[in-house]
Amino acid sequence: MAATGNDAKQIRFAPNGEMWVHFGALPVSALPKSVDEDLKASGFIPLGYASEEGTEITPKIETEELSVWQSSVPVLRYVKSAAFQVKSTLVQVNDATTRLFYGAEWVKTNTKSAAGREQYRLDIASNPDLAEVSLVIDWSDDAAHYRAVIGRAMVGDRGSISLTRTKSQNYELTLDALDAAGTLGYILTDDSSVGSMPKVSLMSGSVEAGHGTALEGSGFDKSSDVNGIAA
């Protein structure tokens, strides 16, 4: 693990990224287990270009205070709700992005337009089904790859589409993770700057005054100089 403190080598950017969707939630056993696992083999579809704002990933925890008669300050905080949210604006118009945005599938009509192209129809229901998806967000720079995996998610919010002469159509989407056996998702990385924090422990349970004991350390760089350990 790299040293903590002021270390520019631990600053990360995300010049490379991709969002992937699988229509229909996958079981945990079918979700990716490495940062470079082939997602297409599992049926994931790349969503393509996003707007220059990129993708926002927001973990949220909402807590409440427990007040009691005997104290003027709260004695406990507890979790009221938790969330893991992904927001992005997609700029490619294709089957996957529009299906995700409208929440319905395209159906071939077996008729052609005047231009000779096949026509498709997407019905926007007055009582729509809330379809589940699995979602993967990849991002990387020259130093490390990261992958966020959400096994169960639903579209929680949509923006409006502006149809203008000078701007592309944008599909603004917010997806919310759902509980999947006690988890909202997980993050994978090959970043060498993360891992177990350095720690030192006694090899024996207790030490008598005036006697010595062996120490066991882990999580340090090979070049680390460990000094000044206090009892």
Give the tens place of pLDDT for each residue, 173-221.
999 999 998 999 999 999 998 876 666 666 566 667 666 666 666 655 6
Inside any domain, residue 223 = no
Burial degree of 214 (CB within 10 A; 0-12, 13-18, 19+): exposed
Report the pLDDT value the prediction gives residue 231, as an integer from 0 to 100.
Answer: 47
Across the range 115-132, mean pLDDT stands at 92
Can you say whether residue 97 is alpha, beta or left, with left for phi > 0 and alpha for psi between -120 and 50 degrees? alpha
Give yes or no for residue 105 having a pLDDT over 90. yes
Range of lowest pLDDT (14-18, 28-32, 66-70, 202-206): 202-206
Report the pLDDT value the prediction gives residue 129, as an integer from 0 to 100.
Answer: 84
Percent of the chain with pLDDT over 90: 77
Inside any domain, residue 224 = no
Across the range 7-25, mean pLDDT stands at 95
Inside any domain, residue 34 = yes
Residue 170 — φ and ψ, nearest 5°? -120, 140
Residues 48-96 have pLDDT tens digits of: 999 999 999 999 999 999 999 999 999 999 999 999 999 999 999 999 9
> The whole model's pTM is what?
0.81
Inside any domain, residue 228 = no
Report the pLDDT value the prediction gives residue 82, as an integer from 0 to 100.
Answer: 94
Give residue 130's pLDDT band: very low, low, confident or very high (50, 70, 90): confident
Check residues 226 and 70 and name the one with the higher pLDDT.
70
Q: How far apart are CA 2 and CA 219, in angstroms?
A: 9
Q: How far apart are CA 66 and CA 76, in angstroms?
A: 5
Residue 8 · residue 141 · CB < 8 Å: no
User: Please, which residues have CB within 8 angstroms of residue 139's CB and are 6 or more apart in sequence?
Assistant: 14, 16, 17, 18, 55, 145, 146
Residue 22 · residue 45 · CB < 8 Å: yes
Average pLDDT value over all residues in the chain: 89
Q: How far apart are CA 52 and CA 54, in angstroms?
A: 5
> Widest CA span of the chain, in angstroms?
95
Give yes or no for residue 223 having a pLDDT over 80. no
Task: Tell me which residue range forms the domain holding 117.
Answer: 8-195
Inside any domain, residue 211 = no
Inside any domain, residue 229 = no
Inside any domain, residue 185 = yes
Q: How far apart are CA 166 and CA 169, in angstroms?
A: 10
Inside any domain, residue 188 = yes
Report the pLDDT value the prediction gives residue 201, as an integer from 0 to 100.
Answer: 66
Report the pLDDT value the prediction gives residue 202, as an integer from 0 to 100.
Answer: 60
The DSSP secondary-structure symbol of 95 reads H
Q: Number of folded domains in the chain?
A: 1
